[in-house]
Amino acid sequence: MKRRDFVNWVGLGWIASSLPVAIAACSPQKTTSQDWQSVGNVAELDKNGQLLAENSPVGAVLVVGTSKAANLVAVNPTCTHKGCTVAWKPQAQKFVCPCHGAEYGIDGKVQKDPATKPLTNYAVKIEGSSVLVKQV
């Protein structure tokens, strides 16, 4: 084998063996909708008693409560009737749809027609100054 052939052969082998490592290193870190996702900050949640993130990585999220509340609640605020965004009514402790009047309890269960399916719930927690949700 000539020296030039040997160098080419070794060089090609090195490139071929390094390629998978280089591809893996350059690939973006995968985050799935199954992971905890930030949907806003604690200051905004505490100021309003609710936090709406319409385009979070897990979809639309409405968090209800404050950082000092014992149990925060997070739901997908998309009404299961025809898809309007429900609003949280703190005095009544329910989600109300402005389109056709469906009502949901704080647990997302239907309390009043015309909706028949519950709102989707998320797990929610506070970490530092961020409000995080995760699909359950």
> What span, in angstroms and rounded, lies between the C-alpha atoms of 55 and 67?
22
Residue 74 in the binding site for ligand FES (CB under 6 A): no
- By CB under 6 A, the count of residues binding ligand FES is 12
Q: Respond yes or no on whether the N-terminal peptide bond of residue 114 is cis (omega within 30° of 0).
A: yes
Given 7, 14, 34, 100, the residue binding ligand FES (CB under 6 A): 100
* Residues of this chain, 77-96, that bind ligand FES according to CB under 6 A: 79, 81-84
DSSP-based three-state secondary structure for 14: helix
> What span, in angstroms and rounded, lies between the C-alpha atoms of 114 and 102?
6
Residue 39 in the binding site for ligand FES (CB under 6 A): no
Query: Residues 52, 77: contact at Cβ < 8 Å?
Result: yes
Note the maximum CA span of the chain. Answer: 86
Residue 110 in the binding site for ligand FES (CB under 6 A): no
Residue 114 in the binding site for ligand FES (CB under 6 A): yes
Residue 133 in the binding site for ligand FES (CB under 6 A): no
Closest by CA position to 45, among listed 18, 66, 30: 66
Residue 97 CB, shortest distance to ligand FES, in Å, is 3
Chain positions contacting ligand FES, by CB under 6 A: 79, 81-84, 97, 99-102, 114-115
